[in-house]
A and B are shown apart, each in its own frame.
Chain A
Amino acid sequence: MNILTNKKVIISLLIVLGIVFPFIIPNLYYLHIMTLAFIWTIAVYGLNLLAGYTGYLSLAHGGFFAIGAYVIGILTVKLEMGFWLSFLLAPLVTMFIGLIIGLFALRTKEHFFAIYTLCVGYIIYLVIDKWEGLTGGVRGLIGIPLPEAIGPISFQSPTAQYYLAFIIFLLVVAVIYRIVHSLTGRTFVAIRNSEDLALSLGISTKRNKLLAFVLSTFFAGLAGAMYAGFIRFIGPEIAYTTITFDLLTYMIVGGIGTFAGPIVGTFLIVIISQNLQFLQDYRMLIFGPLLTLLIIFSPRGIVGFIQMQLYQRKRKKQESLAYKNREEETNAGG
């Protein structure tokens, strides 16, 4: 097999690249950007599980990201709990809130679901912004502690934080891979295709939709908690809808409903945005048209496009092979 299309080779290379990155580019700023990209990717994976694989576009995802961040913030700053316990609790609390919201939100479908969750996301923002007693309001929460050292490993340095994010990122990718490539993932895809068909195949769509929703909030909450632990200051703007739409853009550019999409989309856009920093908000003048073109010509993003090309090449090869065989047969016969 061609070395460039061999999955195992690519994956090992990427992991090695992730490990050696702090050594090749010993620049604290780039390290910071990479760490954030890992965190965003985790959130995008959560969104992709729901919107990409199950077909329910949630626009409350940024809200759940913020819930994760605020839970760890409140537990550590206000209640002075330890970092790791709070870090463990944050995605679980987010998941629980997700469960309750999901029970209501999933009574709607398609556009209505998107609009409903958009409202939910905005309400989450308002609650965080206005409930000063709990969240600190517009001032936010300051002084979220660093993760406590685990034995000899301390998380003081940016490099250590980078590796922490990298390890959690790898774990998340592995877990998502298993979910997507299992009967559970197939069940989600069946629901995305057609809920009527899924029901006729004996699949409880209600239960599986709720599962996908709760899982997506878990990963949003996890990413939020990592963000809070990394930046160590959080304000209500992380619950604002722009975060949701950023995550959505990462997912769509990379490829909605594809496995590698969230990584490709997030890293690509984060890196490009950094390089276009000098354009300030005019960056959107470039992103907007590009995004539109991408959606028109490749609805399944960059990864979807590559997959299609690879598939067609393989098919052509098979066809020409079959043609050749036939020709040889007729030649031999003649």
Chain B
Amino acid sequence: MLEVKGLTKRFGGNVAVKSVDYSVQQGKINAIIGPNGAGKSTFFNLITGVHEPTEGTIIYKNQEITRQPANVIAKLGVARTFQSTHLFEMSTVKDNVIVGHRLRTKSNLFDSIFRTKRLKEEEQQCIAKAEESLDFVGLSHVSDQLVTNISQEEKKRVAFALALATDPEIVFLDEPTAGVNPDETDEMANLIQKMSDKGLTICLIEHKMPMIMRLAHHIMVLNYGEKIAEGTPAEIQKNEEVIKAYLGGTVSA
């Protein structure tokens, strides 16, 4: 569904991502793991159009999207979340999520000033979408609260709801459970599973191995910007190079 060939990103003399070939398996939960600084987030940023790759191609649904800006890629059905949430704290949860469906609407300034039929319809559509997404992530009960008054884990769910409101086909999650306690981590894992069950293709970066091993269908391991292994959780757990990368040098350790 989404395929990457020879993807490379250099920041000055630093190679953050080095000639990575990878393909996201449709309808599955794909995970990207690796030690800190392995280039995982950069890899995400390249695919979602935040950074331009130095070399390589990205193909999504038989269409090259290599140097497209992030907003164009989002319109094609690629959604993402960030490591830290960027919500508007002084506004309600629902108000934050409504704009998530904006990319599927066509109303312009003229529609806004004259409150045309199109604007009213599209506004309703956005509100309905926001409610639906919040319901899906289990936040209907706080939709009228200010974001500043909800918990960290709930903010993460709001970020999920925002991504879902864009009507994506594939969702990239950048460390969805960072800063979330173990119980809540399990619930987040359930939510990711639920998204996958709904037919969404998932690709996530995570550090919490037990969760990844339970959740993911397919794992890629990055180290120093290079792909060092790829396969099912069972294969990855046995892979010597992965163990070496994580434990630092000696396999016997």
Contact = CB atoms under 8 A, between A and B. Distances in A.
Interface of A: 175, 178-179, 182-187, 189-190, 192-194, 196-205, 211, 215, 300, 304, 311, 315
Nearest to A182: B112
Interface string B79-94: 1101000111011000
B143 to A, nearest CB: 14
A194 B162 CA distance: 13
B193 interface: no
Main SS class of interface, B: helix
B109 A203 contact: no
Contacts of B88: 189, 192-193
Given A183-B126, A194-B86, A201 B105 contact: no
Given A179-B112, A199-B50, 20 more contacts: A178-B114, A182-B111, A183-B102, A183-B122, A183-B123, A184-B108, A186-B98, A187-B99, A189-B91, A190-B99, A196-B82, A197-B86, A197-B162, A199-B70, A201-B166, A202-B103, A202-B166, A203-B99, A203-B103, A304-B90
Given A200-B48, A203-B71, A205-B71, A186 B99 contact: yes
Interface string B52-86: 00000000000000000111101100011010001
B146 interface: yes
Contact of A183 (B70, B105, B146, B149): B105
Contacts of A198: 71
Contacts of A311: 146
B112 A202 contact: no
A16 B80 CA distance: 50
B99 A211 contact: no
B113 interface: yes
Nearest to A205: B71
B173 to A, nearest CB: 12
A178 B112 CA distance: 6
Main SS class of interface, A: helix
B233 interface: no
Contacts of B162: 197, 201
Nearest to B87: A193
Contacts of A215: 109
A192 to B, nearest CB: 8
Contact of B79 (A179, A200, A204): A200
17 contacts: A175-B113, A179-B112, A179-B113, A182-B111, A182-B112, A183-B102, A184-B109, A184-B112, A193-B88, A200-B79, A201-B162, A202-B71, A202-B72, A202-B102, A203-B102, A203-B103, A304-B90
Nearest to B89: A193
B31 interface: no
B71 A183 contact: no
Given A183-B123, A187-B99, A300-B90, A199 B107 contact: no
Interface string B102-130: 11010111011111000100110010000
B97 to A, nearest CB: 10
Nearest to A257: B90
Contacts of B114: 178
Given A183-B102, A183-B122, A189-B88, A200 B74 contact: yes
B113 A178 contact: yes
A211 B71 contact: no
Contact of B74 (A179, A183, A186, A199): A199
A180 B113 CA distance: 9
A61 to B, nearest CB: 20
B140 to A, nearest CB: 16
A211 B79 CA distance: 25
A199 B102 contact: no
Contacts of A202: 71-72, 74-75, 102-103, 166
B99 A201 contact: yes
B225 interface: no
Contacts of A315: 149
Nearest to A300: B90
B39 interface: no
B34 interface: no
B82 A179 contact: no
A14 B74 CA distance: 45
The 7 lowest CB-CB distance pairs between A and B, nearest first, are A202-B103, A194-B86, A202-B74, A182-B112, A199-B70, A184-B112, A197-B86
A327 B193 CA distance: 38
A101 to B, nearest CB: 19
B71 A199 contact: yes
A304 B90 CA distance: 10
A175 B49 CA distance: 35
Nearest to A215: B109
A300 B100 CA distance: 25
B100 A201 contact: yes
